[in-house]
Chain A
Amino acid sequence: MRDVFAMNSDQLLVFTIARIPRAIALVLTGAGLSVAGFIMQQLSQNKFVSPTTAGSLEAAKMGILFSILLIPQASMGIKSLAALLFTLAANLLFMLMVRRVRFRSSVFIPLVGIMFGNILAAVSTFFAFKHGIVQNVQEWMIGDFSSVLQGQYESIYLILPAVVLAYIYADQFTIVGMGASFAKNLGISYTAIVNLGLFAVSLTVSVSVVTAGAIPFLGLIVPNMVSMMMGDNLRRTLPMTALAGSIFLLFCDILGRTIIFPYEIPIGLMVGVIGGIIFLFLILRRNR
């Protein structure tokens, strides 16, 4: 602790330019993606739907790609906006598909989402290939906080209003999670709440992908684990979900930075490995 106060000017610079932004970005992304996952699971009435299994991450990447292709010097703001629009469109399309699918098996819908994501990724790769930037696109595939620096990460703060919005409308999201006829019975406009939820989710996903890249599984495993322990009443579980998401992401970050020190394993990879294992466990537990 004394070291914090006894920093020389170089250390202080590193601290304010790189360390603090990185910590803030980690905390906000962890909280935001977990809450976004919870909302998506309520809106689609499916425990396995998340930004990873609904094509949202791929849509955000596609948005960034097209903003770069059209405006080569695109600023973070433009990239974020493009990512937001693409994510929102993909999420709306996915919800339409979910509602059309008659076969409501719990594993089938996320499978549709994963295929949907792969189609989007294939289209992105095609355009990236034509313009010779496949490698850049590959880079966004794997979330990484090492390039989070002061001046380039500020759009991540947009997660804050999204989470606040989720908390204000927590009851409405839970009611929508009970289905359209329940929502209507309680006098709630089903479509308006679904669209609001999709907007909050899209905002969170797009700014996190623009800032740090794709972080898989977070929005899937954290809500499911919190739900197992505390149930699905969003009003009650939202603070815990946000906290657990932040802690989980910080933990993965620290682990990724220490395992092969002084090098760093990208956090997307860390979360992917740990999250993938937990996801498998969740599916097996569910289908038992």
Chain B
Amino acid sequence: MIRFEQITKTYGKRLVLDNISCSLPKGKITSLIGPNGAGKSTLLSTISRLLDADQGKIYLDDICLDDYKSEDLAKRLSILRQSNHIDLRLTVRDLVAFGRFPYSKGRLTAEDQAQIDKAIHFAQLEDMAHSYIDELSGGQRQRAFIAMIIAQDTDYILLDEPLNNLDMKHAVLVMKTLRRLVDELGKTVVIVIHEINFASQYSDYIIAMKDGKIVYNDETDQVVQAHTLKEVFGIDFDIISKNGKNICNYFNIET
């Protein structure tokens, strides 16, 4: 379980995270939603030690993040940020192999090779394992990065807007992959996501943020309600229930 207490973060004079506390359940997908500038990405970066909070503590399985050695933490928790402008010519397999670095330190064992194969298979990238990532489409590249995270084999996987710039098909593929990570491998996945319907269809819990505060933190169906979403995003929502999951229409509602 990831637990954080009284996290505060400011950029200059702007308060981005306003004294927030919360815990993220293990073995589930939790989506962070909210309008631009709500502090979602900052929160994700903070709990993944990419950013230092001004105040507050973060606990991973009840041990403070500061007490982990950096190389040990890399075996427990992984983070993939949005917009990965990598100007390197690496093959997909090489990239995925770097996910094993915390274990192998560059000397890949047979077990590492097996994990790499497994990750490539899991992300359905066998066909392009030997292609260079700069020759792939945005969706394929995103899946290659996710495969690297899978090879890293951490209990906790944090992703910042993994669907950015993906078309519908690839977005669905990525979300299905994340779902399988949780259901088949027992991972804990935390994502920042903009498309509310993807959050509604695929996540177990939703944390809604606004102005650096958590306004809702509940099971998905409890958060995906017209009045809660209106409070968070400031527009009207029409909720349609289908197969036990809520779908939101907000695209063009007459008021």
| A→B interface (CB under 8 Å) | 42, 45-47, 104, 106, 170-172, 174-175, 177-179, 181-182, 184-189, 227-228, 231-233, 235
Q: Quick check: A186 and B88 within 8 Å, CB to CB?
A: no
- How many Å lie between the Cα of A106 and that of B87 in the bound state? 10
Say yes or no: A47-B87 contact (C-beta < 8 A), given A175-B101, A181-B50, A181-B79. yes
| B→A interface (CB under 8 Å) | 48-50, 70-75, 78-81, 84-91, 94, 98-99, 101-102, 105-106, 132, 152
Q: Quick check: B74 and A187 within 8 Å, CB to CB?
A: yes
- How many Å lie between the Cα of A185 and that of B91 in the bound state? 20
- How many Å lie between the Cα of A63 and that of B74 in the bound state? 41
- How many Å lie between the Cα of A186 and that of B145 in the bound state? 13
CB distance from B66 to the nearest CB of A (A): 14
Give chain A residues whose Cβ lies under 8 Å from the Cβ of B74: 185-187
CB distance from A77 to the nearest CB of B (A): 34
Q: Quick check: B94 and A186 within 8 Å, CB to CB?
A: no
Q: Quick check: A233 and B106 within 8 Å, CB to CB?
A: no
Point out the residue from A47, A187, A189, A227 that lies within 8 Å of B101, measured CB to CB. Answer: A187
Give chain A residues whose Cβ lies under 8 Å from the Cβ of B73: 187
Give chain B residues whose Cβ lies under 8 Å from the Cβ of A186: 74, 98-99, 101-102, 152
A-B contact count (CB 8 A): 76
CB nearest neighbor in A for B149? A185
CB distance from B87 to the nearest CB of A (A): 6
CB nearest neighbor in B for A42? B88
CB distance from B54 to the nearest CB of A (A): 19
Given pairs A46-B87, A184-B50, 15 additional interface contacts (CB within 8 A):
A42-B88, A171-B101, A171-B106, A174-B90, A177-B87, A177-B88, A178-B84, A184-B79, A185-B74, A185-B152, A186-B99, A187-B70, A188-B101, A228-B89, A233-B90
Q: Quick check: B70 and A233 within 8 Å, CB to CB?
A: no
Say yes or no: A179-B84 contact (C-beta < 8 A), given A185-B78, A186-B152. yes
Say yes or no: A181-B88 contact (C-beta < 8 A), given A175-B98, A187-B74, A188-B101. no
Give chain A residues whose Cβ lies under 8 Å from the Cβ of B87: 45-47, 106, 177
Point out the residue from A46, A228, A231 that lies within 8 Å of B90, measured CB to CB. Answer: A231
Give chain B residues whose Cβ lies under 8 Å from the Cβ of A106: 87
CB distance from B13 to the nearest CB of A (A): 20
CB distance from A41 to the nearest CB of B (A): 9
Q: Quick check: B102 and A181 within 8 Å, CB to CB?
A: no
Q: Quick check: A179 and B86 within 8 Å, CB to CB?
A: yes
- How many Å lie between the Cα of A247 and that of B94 in the bound state? 28
Residue of A104, A106, A182, A235 with most partner-chain B CB within 10 A = A182
Give chain A residues whose Cβ lies under 8 Å from the Cβ of B85: 104, 179
21 A–B contacts from the bound complex (CB under 8 Å): A171-B101, A172-B106, A175-B101, A177-B86, A178-B86, A178-B88, A181-B79, A181-B81, A182-B84, A184-B70, A185-B80, A185-B152, A186-B99, A186-B101, A187-B70, A187-B75, A187-B102, A188-B101, A228-B89, A231-B94, A231-B132
Say yes or no: A232-B89 contact (C-beta < 8 A), given A184-B49, A185-B80. yes
Give chain A residues whose Cβ lies under 8 Å from the Cβ of B75: 187
Give chain A residues whose Cβ lies under 8 Å from the Cβ of B48: 185
CB nearest neighbor in A for B100? A186
Give chain B residues whose Cβ lies under 8 Å from the Cβ of A174: 88, 90, 98
CB distance from B41 to the nearest CB of A (A): 11
Say yes or no: A189-B98 contact (C-beta < 8 A), given A181-B50, A231-B89, A231-B91. no
- How many Å lie between the Cα of A189 and that of B99 in the bound state? 16
Give chain A residues whose Cβ lies under 8 Å from the Cβ of B90: 174, 231-233
Q: Quick check: A235 and B106 within 8 Å, CB to CB?
A: yes
Give chain B residues whose Cβ lies under 8 Å from the Cβ of A189: 70
Give chain B residues whose Cβ lies under 8 Å from the Cβ of A181: 50, 79, 81
Give chain B residues whose Cβ lies under 8 Å from the Cβ of A177: 86-88
- How many Å lie between the Cα of A38 and that of B73 in the bound state? 30
- How many Å lie between the Cα of A233 and that of B108 in the bound state? 14
Give chain A residues whose Cβ lies under 8 Å from the Cβ of B105: 171
Give chain B residues whose Cβ lies under 8 Å from the Cβ of A46: 87
- How many Å lie between the Cα of A62 and that of B152 in the bound state? 46
CB nearest neighbor in A for B73? A187
- How many Å lie between the Cα of A242 and that of B245 in the bound state? 59
Give chain B residues whose Cβ lies under 8 Å from the Cβ of A172: 106
